[in-house]
Amino acid sequence: MTTRFTGACLCNGVQFSVTGFNNQVANCHCTMCRKFHGAAFGTLVGVTGLTWLAGNALLTEYVAGNGTIRTFCSCCGSSIGFRVANSTLTDIELAISLFSTDIPVVVDAQIFTRYKANWCKLADDVPVFAEGRDS
């Protein structure tokens, strides 16, 4: 039997389940993530075995000037996830705050910290990258 982890947006209109998680999880401090999440950073994780359980019609996309795609719920505005240009909804990185229970992930990087808000303090025990992980 496969373990499934479930999640939903604020209004519960968009619901999903996954069977697994990528092992890289980062707090992204880029300007777009900060604005999209309305927070100091966005924390997203790639997933496996994604199934959309409800609310496909509520999924709305914003395509940024660089081609990246942010998906959100059109009813409550919850940030659902992030995709690179020309990818599908199955390739989405989901906001970890949407999961309904604890998930087996650990934040292993703080990325795009060059753009972090001046009032945000970085975690001392998590590696810091001025740009992406390759910087």
Domain ranges across the chain: 5-115
Does residue 11 sit in helix, strand or coil?
Answer: coil
Q: What pairs with residue 25 in β-bridges?
A: 45
**Residue 86: per-residue pLDDT:** 86
**Residue 38: per-residue pLDDT:** 93
Strand order in the sheet with 5-8: 5-8, 15-18, 51-54
**Residue 134: per-residue pLDDT:** 85
pLDDT, tens digit (0-9, with 9 covering 90-100), for 67-79? 999 999 999 999 9
| 107 DSSP 8-state letter | -
pTM for the predicted model, two decimal places: 0.90
CA 10 vs CA 58, 92, 111, 119: distances in Å: 12, 19, 26, 26
Q: Which amino acid is at 91?
A: D
**Residue 135: per-residue pLDDT:** 73
Report the C-alpha gap between 56 and 60 in whole angstroms: 9
**Residue 89: per-residue pLDDT:** 84
Quick one: which H or E segment has residue 17? strand 15-18
Hunting for tokens 């966005």 — which residue is that?
Answer: 42
For the record, the structure tokens of 97 come out as 């705050």
**Are residues 18 and 4 in contact, defined by beta-carbon separation less than 8 angstroms?**
yes
Would you state the CATH architecture of domain 5-115?
Beta Complex (2.170)
- Where the chain has pLDDT below 50, the residues are none
Report the C-alpha gap between 48 and 44 in whole angstroms: 13
